Amino acid sequence: MEEKRIFVLDEKGNEIEYEIVLTFNSPKTHKDYVIYKEPGDTEDVMAAIYDETNNDGGRLLEIESEEEFQMIQDVLDAFMDEEEE
């Protein structure tokens, strides 16, 4: 399986590489989401809304509500359960 990467600029303008765990679109919110982590065996993940509407390759936006966080957790749990099978 080919690993997918995302590059994120930190607050100092440094480019940091992350590994994409999962991307999905929610029919309920009509938003695209990305779940990503530091490369390697870490289980700690981060999630963001992926906005592709600007011309510079897209940007990550903060999750807006607890309901979104829970929906993302549910999707991630289902994905991990499927991967284990």
From the number of C-beta atoms within 10 Å of its C-beta (0-12, 13-18, 19+), residue 60 rates as middle
Question: In this structure, are residues 66 and 72 in contact, taking their beta carbons and an 8 Å threshold?
Answer: no
Stretch (H or E) spanning 83: helix 66-84
**DSSP letters of 30-52?**
TEEEEEEE-SSS----EEEEEE-
pLDDT category of residue 1 using cuts at 50, 70 and 90:
very low
Q: Which of 71, 62, 85 is nearest to 25 (CA)?
A: 71
**The pTM is what?**
0.84
Per-residue pLDDT at 55: 64
For the stretch 23-78, pLDDT in tens is 999 999 999 999 999 998 888 999 999 998 866 778 899 998 999 999 999 999 99
Tokens encoding 85:
């099978």
